[in-house]
């Protein structure tokens, strides 16, 4: 199932009964780089992540209808058997906004299937789009769900494909089959080597992301190899567009010591045309101020 989802051209995410991300497609990783982080959780992102409150229109309503209502359903039907669910609820309700929503809302929702969200995503130039969620329950994995996202309008699908990273790790190292989105290697050094001779290590920026992270810029494709250390000690590698990585670093204090690394990342992430680069740079600056 993981390989099937990874090969999808549309955004797709596999998650478990506690909303922890298990796998994802390349398109999903390009639009939501937070999926790459170890232990990524859909509810934690929607309810606690600062990016979600910026990117999801009418966030308070969506936090209630898609987030809190699902958690309440999960608590009723699975909470006694899965201690992760009440622990997750305690974590998100430590936020005053979520605590208020939880106390006010008593409705429940089984899943996000059919939900419609208005989004403004940095990888799509902050243009408003409408996303429709579809949730599947595969018989082969009863403890997992597959979230697939479709878009209204004809131009959005093309835009999503345009930001989906060009994964050419197969040609460079023949490590995986063409449909595979992630590579597993033994060390962080081996992950960086996948970028080839012209790869640019970004160790300082990786430290801002957190422990167990390695970033390597691939200048010729304008992408970044994002590697995270798995519990077994190996490193899972995904290739995503440079611009979403810039946005993911928006809350970090990029000081003078990291200026060269961030400049290299910005050159790869911004359009080559001066006017387009200026517009996108301004959008990023506004996001940094938010």
Strands (E), 107-192: 116-120, 128-136, 144-151, 183-185
pLDDT of residue 168 exceeding 50:
no
- CA distances for 192 relative to 6, 99, 213, 219, angstroms: 21, 42, 11, 13
Tokens of 213: 């992270």
User: CB–CB of 269/241 below 8 Å?
Assistant: yes
pLDDT of residue 148 exceeding 80:
yes
Which residues are CB-contacts of 106 (< 8 A; sequence separation ≥ 6)?
A: 72
Predicted confidence at residue 62, as pLDDT, reads 95
Global model pTM greater than 0.85: no
pLDDT of residue 135 exceeding 80:
yes
Predicted confidence at residue 165, as pLDDT, reads 42
Predicted confidence at residue 78, as pLDDT, reads 92
Per the model's pLDDT, the better-predicted residue between 112 and 157 turns out to be 112
User: CB–CB of 244/123 below 8 Å?
Assistant: yes
User: CB–CB of 173/181 below 8 Å?
Assistant: no
pLDDT-based confidence at 171, cuts 50/70/90? very low
Average pLDDT of the chain? 79
User: CB–CB of 22/2 below 8 Å?
Assistant: yes
Tokens of 152: 């209204």
Predicted confidence at residue 104, as pLDDT, reads 92
Predicted confidence at residue 178, as pLDDT, reads 32
Predicted confidence at residue 230, as pLDDT, reads 78
Angstrom distance (rounded) from CA 63 to CA 69: 8
Per the model's pLDDT, the better-predicted residue between 47 and 35 turns out to be 47
CA atoms within a 13 Å half-sphere pointing along the CA-CB vector of 41: 19
pLDDT digits (tens, 9 = 90+) for 48-90: 988 888 889 899 999 999 999 999 999 999 999 999 999 999 9
Mean pLDDT to the nearest integer, 217-237 = 85
pLDDT-based confidence at 153, cuts 50/70/90? low
pLDDT of residue 91 exceeding 50:
yes
Predicted confidence at residue 157, as pLDDT, reads 57
Return the CATH fold of 2-163. Answer: Beta-Lactamase (3.30.450)
Predicted confidence at residue 59, as pLDDT, reads 92
Per the model's pLDDT, the better-predicted residue between 139 and 191 turns out to be 191
Q: Where are the domains of the chain?
A: 2-163, 169-289
């Amino acid at each position: 199932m993981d390989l099937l989802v990874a090969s999808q051209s549309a955004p797709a995410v596999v998650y478990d009964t506690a909303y922890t991300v298990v796998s994802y497609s390349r398109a999903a990783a390009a639009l939501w780089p937070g999926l790459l982080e170890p232990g990524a959780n859909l509810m934690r992102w929607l309810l606690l992540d600062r990016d979600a409150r910026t990117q999801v229109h009418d966030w308070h309503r969506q936090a209630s209808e898609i987030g809190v209502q699902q958690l309440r359903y999960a608590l009723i039907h699975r909470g006694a058997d899965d201690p992760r669910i009440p622990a997750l609820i305690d974590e998100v309700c430590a936020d005053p906004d979520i605590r208020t929503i939880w106390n006010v809302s008593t409705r429940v929702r089984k899943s996000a299937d059919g939900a419609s969200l208005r989004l403004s995503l940095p990888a799509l130039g902050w243009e408003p789009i409408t996303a429709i969620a579809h949730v599947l329950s595969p018989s082969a994995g009863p403890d997992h769900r597959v979230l697939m996202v479709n878009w209204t309008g004809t131009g959005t699908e093309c835009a999503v494909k345009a930001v989906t990273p060009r994964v050419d790790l197969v040609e460079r190292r023949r490590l995986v089959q063409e449909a595979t989105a992630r590579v597993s290697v033994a060390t962080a050094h081996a992950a960086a080597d996948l970028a080839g001779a012209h790869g640019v290590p970004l160790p300082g920026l990786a430290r801002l992301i957190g422990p167990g992270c390695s970033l390597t810029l691939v200048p010729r494709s304008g992408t970044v190899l994002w590697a995270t250390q798995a519990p077994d000690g190996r490193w899972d590698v995904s290739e995503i567009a440079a611009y979403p990585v810039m946005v993911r670093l928006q809350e970090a204090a990029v000081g003078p010591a990291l200026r060269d690394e961030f400049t290299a990342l910005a050159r790869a992430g911004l359009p080559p045309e001066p006017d387009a680069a200026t517009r996108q740079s301004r959008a990023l600056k506004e996001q940094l101020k938010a």
